[in-house]
Structure 1
């Protein structure tokens, strides 16, 4: 039995006889070895990626597609560094979704610049039979490989004993027993990875004789290195992205000529592979049931996925999460807000001039609109990461499937909807796992209605402005209750919009939902920390750049106007001040207010004001609505900049600036009616150019993004109008 405490350093096995042809790697040896991580979902691949790369990661897209591509640099030994590619999870090389298709496109094209030098296949040691199916397919492609035998602790708990030496001999590759969550076995894996393995693996499946003529013609035509890869070309030529129309036509003619039936052949192959896998496991694995009781995870599932208690527990978890986001983040947010205000005050006290105004009212005010929300962003993603790490999030998707189907959504739609609480862009990308066209379109359409993290700045500022910071029932924070209510409003609007689309869109396709439950585990705090740092960095360096840039542009628009409009406004303000006998301080504020109103920004806001006045909004809010189309979170940076221009420098925080704003009658402008009207508008409005862009890419046209924009903007306007007219 392999014990994790005494993991040996495993070297590459001796060459094993193989029917898989071996040819040199098509690329010259790179400066960095490129290693791909491949494995089933829930096999610990992400944990291993985090252990190998730490914080040295970046997220982009695979070439030509909008599927997340995580890469990182790993220091294997003092002399060797490698680039690690974390591929999407898959059960087989026969893809069923677009993210799985990314894997086959990468591994079928040896001429691609992204082709890996070798692969690390992560498998769940407690379920080797299912996990080894993918490994045998990769082996038959002739890919040099290492088997990361992960979750050995779980295998031991289930009484699964694995003979590592025997398994290594049967598979013909290095086998490293691991517990990636705790970092056990990572050092041994790095040593093996640094050896630049080039030896081919053994063969696990041979195509039948009658297929060989077709396979050899495909292999010769495309200059392929083995028969199994040529067989996959026959199976999937319609979906291999790098093939030309002429190449697809050639394969199609061969398939028709030889009467090739993909479904029947795939079934035959799968049966043959499992027969071979069973032989391997019979020699290398023994199982002794050391526990008679039901596994602990199943006991928990009886409660956490119960038809009644499961939902109550889930909503309780959400409620506590939003309570914590408000309560715990308030102190660091106040410190950041006051610190930014103090820096501005010190600069304005000691220096003067247009560049100083640009620095304080534009750059620093915009920067404050970014930094102040780091505590809340960090807390939100910390909770989400913990729920995913423990395995609870998978149960949530299972429970919500029961509800989703009644509203015309696939069970797999739950993942994009829940991900939409973080950001709509990757959430919409994740809808690629939904095979049914109708379910996928509905999911893409309604996902932006889920309140994403970009809305948090708007929600928190306005909620803190008009909702008292007091306890409900002596325990719950009232502001947290309102915040959760806004999230629930977005969720309800999403599912009822989905129901409407279900009735409008007609299709005969059937949908299904299959999900494997991972066992419950304590979260690995290192992985949680990496997730928090990644998300905060994304917010600060991506959203932050947009916010600061727009803040600077707004300052310029708010500080200058057409012709001599600002000079005339100043003269008129001075005359009015004399007539009304205003104090010098009141005179300065009056001049600044008049100049702002006659600036370029004021003209834009005035143009929009007639359309938004029924909602309770003025021209200043109109400016914020326009800039928010770049990104919703820009709203706070915009109002911070707009209300910095023309107000007393002693008005330090964003909340103080808004609270000090007066209407034409001298009363507080941001009344509860206006604040809630604005909150409801931001719950529904499609104000995110990135979301529209990704919908365009996913649907391959402007039809659906334009429908989204019109529908959500109309819904926001009507809802906001009703709220303001009822509560004013």
Structure 2
């Protein structure tokens, strides 16, 4: 590109102010807007992290539910720029919702989001494939810089690139770099600061027979070049900012000229690769420096083996779950104790309704948010390491054939397995699935996997009705029952995904295209940024919803109509003294009576007719209501209702529940009622954290509401069937 000097060393401090102002934002008063675009596994995310560090945020593209990562980078002391991290794509003919937002952004030059120029990341070890996207962007007339990434990998493969010759062939500045280690970042910043508004070299000639149609589209929409008009003809049905009249106009032209998009795309791709081959023939040479197979290929023979590959993956999962279950327990206990200590400190020194709201509502809800942070951080640390090393791509490849039969794809395995620990980070990890339909199905069915929050419920109820006896000498019958509940959730998730596959109609076809990146050591800076980003997203997005509902539940359980709570308290104290209760038992009895008289208690009596066919009474109804904050709250609520102090251990809870009698004097928690309740909790949503995460990932209430209704309905009718058959 004329007027731009190629920079390979450190950023020169003597760059003039005139040059630094060469790139003026298209919108006065705004930062220069730079878009990062490239193939998957080309190092685009590493480059984004190097340019922005922690100075980044996640929003969404206007009108769609795809994340939009942006950050601010200080290019020079005088110039700052907004960096937009676009989803990875192989070409400008989109195959997924993530790729579609790229074309919507780059086709509309009048948009406020339109970039001033783009930085194209390319894998230097595979230039032929990476340059296809670059040539398309160049023909759109976008000013560009080519970040030639992974130069170290190219050298290892014996790939030698004449940077000067390639720069002349392509007509754009080229920066050789290693984004993972930060090599070349300073040079890239200076070149971006010096970018001039000049088009790149032209690569593709449109056939003469198409020009009449192309020119009509170009002048009708006031487009700046023929190639952009050609893309309008290819994709007018999918371009979101076109009006129905605009689409109808292009549709008539396409029909009039007999334009067929698919054959034309194939013809264009072949022509582009021919041009790319000519360029690379003059600029790239390959010398084989390795006699043996590349190291990655040797590892793949083991890690993707039909037998050993799955066994190794199970071992990795065991380590990950051990971390999430065991390692996270210590910081979770510290957070829990810290919140409890703050609560105790406030309650000791202050009193009153507002203090109760603060301690039992706000701080309790805040604790319910913060306590998930260790699990989220550890889970995404493992996922980030697996992705950075290149192993996650192999896992998705192995699992794709199995998952696809049920409407999912290989990348769905990570959220589903993660759901055994906690559905919240599991749903957040589903964003790696490119296909919109597969991603929505995965998010929808993931909560059916039994998470760790269900364990207290399972343990208490199984202890009531399943004998503690050995099976085959080394196994325990209760262990088999617990495993059966987990398998029941997994089967429900898989079958639900299969049903959604049949019901959801979309024109978007599900492809699984996966390029194996080479194995490499993770960059811990990128891992750390990923952890911070995920934790922030949970705390500030899902956390707000959790906190609000926690306060609402506290109000419902703490207040009642008129003077009913005071009357219930006096009645309970009188009964307790008459029956010779200890002070602790009287306090517990008072808590139970006040809960029954609260708005939550009235709601429990209100829904009792609906849940009675399941074998439940109003007390269980209250537990169902309060456990919506978190499933494990069920045990604490049952403890209060059945006159067991919150400090009581689990066995005492089981003893009290076992001694509960029905109206006929018979044990209340029969096998029929207990298994009905167990099945209900296997399928029921009962977790506002999960709904908040679904809302965060889908950018709306449609999917969370559908999820809640479906899982509640499935839980209700399954529990109804179990109780009616067993009673």
Q: Same fold (TM over 0.5)?
A: yes
> For the Cα contact (< 8 Å) 1:40–1:123, is it kept in 2?
yes
CA distance, structure 2, for counterparts of residue 244 and residue 79 of structure 1: 41
User: In the alignment, which of 445, 448, 465 is matched to residue 449 of structure 1?
Assistant: 445
> For the Cα contact (< 8 Å) 1:673–1:724, is it kept in 2?
yes
Using the size of structure 2 for normalisation, the TM-score is 0.83
> For the Cα contact (< 8 Å) 2:42–2:123, is it kept in 1?
yes
Q: 1:515 to 1:417 in 2, by over 3 A?
A: farther
Q: Which residue of 2 aligns with 1:68?
A: 67
> Is 2:532 the partner of 1:530?
no
Q: Report SS of the residue matched to 1:142.
A: coil
> For the Cα contact (< 8 Å) 1:148–1:175, is it kept in 2?
yes
CA distance, structure 2, for counterparts of residue 373 and residue 482 of structure 1: 27
> Is 2:459 the partner of 1:458?
no
> For the Cα contact (< 8 Å) 2:65–2:698, is it kept in 1?
no
Taking the TM superposition and a 5 Å limit, the aligned residue runs for 1:2-81 are: 7-8=8-9, 27-81=26-80
CA distance, structure 2, for counterparts of residue 371 and residue 671 of structure 1: 37
Q: 1:156 to 1:483 in 2, by over 3 A?
A: farther
CA distance, structure 1, for counterparts of residue 332 and residue 372 of structure 2: 7
Q: Which residue of 2 aligns with 1:574?
A: 573
> For the Cα contact (< 8 Å) 2:403–2:409, is it kept in 1?
yes
What per-residue deviation string (whole Å, max 9, x for no partner) do you get for residues 597-626 of structure 1? 101111112333455567686656644544
CA distance, structure 2, for counterparts of residue 643 and residue 252 of structure 1: 66
Q: Report SS of the residue matched to 1:83.
A: strand
Instruction: Indicate the larger mover: 93-102 or 540-549.
Output: 540-549
Q: Which residue of 2 aligns with 1:109?
A: 108
CA distance, structure 2, for counterparts of residue 180 and residue 526 of structure 1: 12
Instruction: Indicate the larger mover: 371-380 or 129-138.
Output: 371-380
What per-residue deviation string (whole Å, max 9, x for no partner) do you get for residues 197-245 of structure 1? 3222111112122322222222211111111111111222222111112
Q: Report SS of the residue matched to 1:561.
A: coil
Q: 1:117 to 1:716 in 2, by over 3 A?
A: same
Q: Which residue of 2 aligns with 1:14?
A: none
CA distance, structure 2, for counterparts of residue 216 and residue 658 of structure 1: 81
Taking the TM superposition and a 5 Å limit, the aligned residue runs for 1:533-572 are: 533-572=532-571
Shift of 1:28: 3.2
> Is 2:231 the partner of 1:229?
no
Instruction: Indicate the larger mover: 493-502 or 140-149.
Output: 493-502
Q: 1:157 to 1:177 in 2, by over 3 A?
A: same
Taking the TM superposition and a 5 Å limit, the aligned residue runs for 1:471-550 are: 490-499=489-498, 512-550=511-549
What per-residue deviation string (whole Å, max 9, x for no partner) do you get for residues 51-71 of structure 1? 111122222221111112111
Q: Which residue of 2 aligns with 1:120?
A: 119
Q: Which residue of 1 aligns with 2:3?
A: none
Q: Which residue of 2 aligns with 1:353?
A: 352
Q: Which residue of 2 aligns with 1:437?
A: none
> Is 2:196 the partner of 1:197?
yes
Shift of 1:693: 6.3
Q: Report SS of the residue matched to 1:28.
A: coil
> For the Cα contact (< 8 Å) 1:73–1:84, is it kept in 2?
yes
Q: Which residue of 2 aligns with 1:15?
A: none
Q: 1:80 to 1:671 in 2, by over 3 A?
A: farther
Taking the TM superposition and a 5 Å limit, the aligned residue runs for 1:86-101 are: 86-101=85-100
Instruction: Indicate the larger mover: 486-495 or 78-87.
Output: 486-495
Q: 1:693 to 1:555 in 2, by over 3 A?
A: closer
What per-residue deviation string (whole Å, max 9, x for no partner) do you get for residues 657-709 of structure 1? 995995494799999999997675444334555577699989xx97x988755
Taking the TM superposition and a 5 Å limit, the aligned residue runs for 1:669-708 are: 681-686=680-685, 689=691
Shift of 1:90: 0.9
Taking the TM superposition and a 5 Å limit, the aligned residue runs for 1:201-600 are: 201-407=200-406, 409=408, 433=435, 440=437, 444-445=440-441, 447-451=443-447, 456=451, 458-459=453-454, 462=457, 490-499=489-498, 512-600=511-599
Q: Which residue of 1 aligns with 2:170?
A: 171
Structure with greater contact order relative to length (CA < 8 Å, sep ≥ 6): 1
> For the Cα contact (< 8 Å) 2:412–2:442, is it kept in 1?
no
CA distance, structure 1, for counterparts of residue 169 and residue 540 of structure 2: 49
Shift of 1:120: 0.6
Shift of 1:143: 0.5
CA distance, structure 2, for counterparts of residue 361 and residue 646 of structure 1: 20
Instruction: Indicate the larger mover: 131-140 or 244-253.
Output: 244-253
> Is 2:155 the partner of 1:156?
yes
CA distance, structure 1, for counterparts of residue 639 and residue 669 of structure 2: 13
Q: 1:251 to 1:292 in 2, by over 3 A?
A: same
CA distance, structure 1, for counterparts of residue 524 and residue 669 of structure 2: 41
CA distance, structure 2, for counterparts of residue 68 and residue 501 of structure 1: 24
Q: 1:495 to 1:552 in 2, by over 3 A?
A: closer
Shift of 1:37: 0.8
Shift of 1:256: 2.8
CA distance, structure 2, for counterparts of residue 601 and residue 676 of structure 1: 25
Shift of 1:335: 1.9
Q: 1:430 to 1:673 in 2, by over 3 A?
A: farther
> For the Cα contact (< 8 Å) 1:412–1:513, is it kept in 2?
no
CA distance, structure 2, for counterparts of residue 53 and residue 658 of structure 1: 54
> For the Cα contact (< 8 Å) 1:344–1:360, is it kept in 2?
yes
CA distance, structure 2, for counterparts of residue 591 and residue 507 of structure 1: 56
Instruction: Indicate the larger mover: 712-721 or 92-101.
Output: 712-721
Instruction: Indicate the larger mover: 288-297 or 598-607.
Output: 598-607
Q: Report SS of the residue matched to 2:290.
A: coil
Residue correspondences, number: 693
Shift of 1:113: 0.8
Q: 1:366 to 1:498 in 2, by over 3 A?
A: closer
> For the Cα contact (< 8 Å) 1:570–1:594, is it kept in 2?
yes
Q: 1:176 to 1:556 in 2, by over 3 A?
A: same
CA distance, structure 2, for counterparts of residue 54 and residue 507 of structure 1: 38
Instruction: Indicate the larger mover: 45-54 or 362-371.
Output: 362-371
Instruction: Indicate the larger mover: 638-647 or 404-413.
Output: 638-647
Q: 1:367 to 1:75 in 2, by over 3 A?
A: same
Q: Report SS of the residue matched to 1:450.
A: helix
Q: 1:491 to 1:219 in 2, by over 3 A?
A: same
Q: Which runs of 5+ in 1 are unaligned?
A: 1-5, 12-23, 435-439, 469-475
Q: Which residue of 1 aligns with 2:18?
A: none
Shift of 1:571: 2.6
Q: Report SS of the residue matched to 2:571.
A: helix
> For the Cα contact (< 8 Å) 1:448–1:691, is it kept in 2?
no
Q: 1:571 to 1:605 in 2, by over 3 A?
A: same
Q: How large is the RMSD of aligned CA atoms in angstroms?
A: 4.4
> For the Cα contact (< 8 Å) 2:588–2:640, is it kept in 1?
no
> For the Cα contact (< 8 Å) 2:25–2:33, is it kept in 1?
no
Shift of 1:346: 2.5
CA distance, structure 2, for counterparts of residue 464 and residue 298 of structure 1: 46
